Structure 1
Amino acid sequence: MTGTNADQAEYWGHSPGGQKWITLQDQLDAALQPVLDLVLDRAALRPGQRVLDIGCGTGASVLAAAAAVGPTGHVLAADISELLLSRARERTAHLPNVELVPADAQVHRFGPDDRDAVISRFGVMFFEDTTAALANMARTLKPEGAMTFAAWGALDRNPWFTVPHIAAINRLGRPPRTDRNAPGPLAFHDTDRVLGMFRDAGLNAEAEVVELDLTLPGGPEGAADLVMQVGPAVRTMAHFNATPEDAAAIRAAVLEEFAARGSDDPFRLPAQINLFRATRPAG
């Protein structure tokens, strides 16, 4: 595999961060199911369609898309991480209408005019050159084919990020600031900026800001355990070489905040999702 996003390939394919998405697959799939449901609802996939799934991860979206298009349809699922794809292959091995490919979607040569739809749940915020990636993915769409992408919205509307982040900096201090528009989970938070990149890629696009609840298994305790293993608290603790005592204190602060929000299982955590829909012009 060649491409310009080698740092992302390294992180998702060879670091503990990528491995955690396999270890925590069931919890993460459950937590993010409402986001996947949103993508599928807006994409409105139909039997017989040919779909490209970008950043398919461990395969939850592939399974859902394959069920939607049925045996007469086809799902081509791409991810930059061979590690995550290996798990997705295990989960989809029984499906004849699925193909998985290791690919940097910014440069990979997908078949031209081949797909009715391109979908992604949190798989498109990591490109070094997003406009180039969007243009490249658009080439595989049939004329008037549609893209449907979900990305994280505003930071302050997503306690999935803010609660562990605040708990970690209160204990350890603030790590160096990063550009929120840089490749990363929050890179699509500014809808106007992202819509400009869609336009530059030759696509007609619109954005919808959706408020929903993530559904984290295990009540507040399970939710606290999960956000202590993926997300900003992990990065802050790594930066400051946090001790087990630090980690315990940060988790306690997260749990206190979560428990104040309720005790249901699954634990519902509000989230803001930016949903992007784009079509390839007919001409």
Structure 2
Amino acid sequence: MPVPDRASVLDQQRQTWDSVSEGWQVWRETFERGGAAVTRALLDLSAPRPGERVLDVGSGCGEPALSAAHAVGADGRVLGIDISPAMTEIARRRAADLPQARFEVGDLVDLDLPEHSFDVVLSRWALMFLPERAAALRALHAVLVPGGRLAAAVWGPAGEAPVVGLPFRAIMPRVQGPTPPPPPPPDAPGPYAMADPERCHAELTAAGFVDVRVERVRAPFWVESPEVFTAYTRALLPEQVTAMLREWLGSADDPGLWADVAALAEEYRAADGTVQLPSTVLLLSGVAGK
């Protein structure tokens, strides 16, 4: 299966994230119970200081850019970029009282950022979606000053990230038909495209980063019940997936499907009744070589 061209990938991603932007706004606090721990880890790794310039790639609804804006203070500058106009608008509203934070729609190529214009690059669950990833990582290296710091988070293997992958154990058998398609090429963008620690290390090194480190951690995601997890999943399901459900099941509201999702979530129910979904995250860090 060939890798789609860059324009097609970006257009599909734009549609995907725009379609779930309202759901992300509603469920943001639920996601951030696990996501905030990853943001703190990224800030610890990159250590943005007052007055520094930070680029956040794939900001979505605003993190970790907003947290970085507090770290750099009024004399600093934070630019968050994202492919989704709808998500970017949410981030802008959230940054209304942080004049040092700015959010733009686009990607590295669209925005043509100047070389050596940032002290820190951050990214939380976005690098694995970048098309032409090797070139994108080189571009990230180029926008950093020599000695500038990169800190990014990507998902670990699919089976170790239930907060993302669990619903698809019920969904995919229903939308693939009797003959599942072949797996995507290893370079194809996707949620688990950077799940191999050794490959991450090699890719960052090839892009020019030194002192590269890859740390495997578990992000503490949880929801109140299987029913809440089902509602959360339905709200964040991309339009492309709901379209496949309509095609194969006649409706994205098929009760059997969502009963199966709730049953899968039940497997993660703790003694206190909550659904605990700790998920593997790879924390990537490096320094821009000269």
**Matched residues in 2 for 1:34 and 1:212: separation?**
7
What SS does the aligned partner of 2:139 have? helix
Q: What is aligned with 1:41?
A: 44
Amino acid at match of 1:248: P
Q: Secondary structure at the match of 2:220?
A: strand
For the 8 Å contact 1:29–1:60, the answer to whether it is kept is no
Look up the match of 1:18: 18
Find out whether 1:280 has 2:281 as its counterpart.
Answer: no
Match among 208, 212, 227 for residue 219 of structure 2: 212
> Which of 161, 165, 169 is equivalent to 1:166?
169
Gaps of 5+ in 1: none
* 8 A contact 1:121–1:151 mirrored in 2: yes
Structure 2 CA distance, aligned partners of 1:265 and 1:113? 50
**Residue of structure 1 equivalent to 2:136:** 133
| Superposition map of 1:77-156 within 5 A | 77-106=80-109, 108-156=111-159
Shift of 1:118: 0.3
Of the structure 1 ranges 100-109 and 270-279, higher mean CA displacement relative to structure 2 is found in 100-109
1:234/1:213 Cα in 2 relative to 1: closer, same or farther (>3 Å)? farther
Superposition deviation, residue 17 in structure 1: 4.5
Aligned identity (percent) is 28
Q: Is 57-66 or 147-156 further displaced after alignment?
A: 57-66
- For residues 155-195 of structure 1, what are the alpha-carbon distances to aligned partners after superposition, in whole Å with 9 as ceiling and x for unaligned? 11112344212222455556423326311111111122222
Residues 70 and 30 of structure 1, relative CA distance in 2, 3 Å threshold: farther
Letter in 1 for 2:166: V
State the AA in 2 paired with 1:177. Answer: P
Q: Distance in 2 between matches of 1:117 and 1:47?
A: 12
SS of match in other structure, 1:112: coil
Q: Distance in 1 between matches of 2:145 and 2:252?
A: 55
Q: Report the equivalent of 1:179.
A: 184
TM-aligned CA distance change 1:36 to 1:8, over 3 Å: farther
**1:268 aligned to 2:276?**
yes
Partner of 1:6: 7
SS of equivalent residue, structure 1 residue 125: helix
SS of the residue aligned with 2:167? helix
Q: What residue is the counterpart of 1:157 in the other structure?
A: 160
Task: Report the residue type matching 1:214 in the other structure.
Answer: F
SS at match of 1:47: coil
Name the residue aligned to 2:263.
256
SS at 1:150 equivalent: strand
Normalised by the length of structure 1, the TM-score is: 0.86
When residues 30 and 233 of structure 1 are mapped into structure 2, their CA distance, relative to the original with a 3 A threshold, is: same
TM-score normalised to structure 2 length:
0.84
Please identify, of 178-187 and 62-71, the stretch whose mean Cα deviation from structure 2 is larger: 178-187
Alignment size in residue pairs: 277
CA 1:127 to 1:47, structure 2 compared with 1: closer, same or farther past 3 Å?
Answer: same
Corresponding letter in the other structure for 2:184 = D
What per-residue deviation string (whole Å, max 9, x for no partner) do you get for residues 105-132 of structure 1? Answer: 2564222222111001111112221111
Structure 1 contact 125–188 (Cα < 8 Å) conserved = yes
Deviation at 1:272, TM superposition (A): 0.4
Extract unaligned runs of 5+ from structure 2. none
User: Could you tell me how far 1:232 is from its partner in structure 2?
Assistant: 8.8
- Asked if structure 1 preserves the Cα contact closer than 8 Å seen for 2:222 and 2:278, the reply is no
2:229 to 223, 233, 238: 223
| 8 Å CA contact retained: 1:171, 1:249 | no
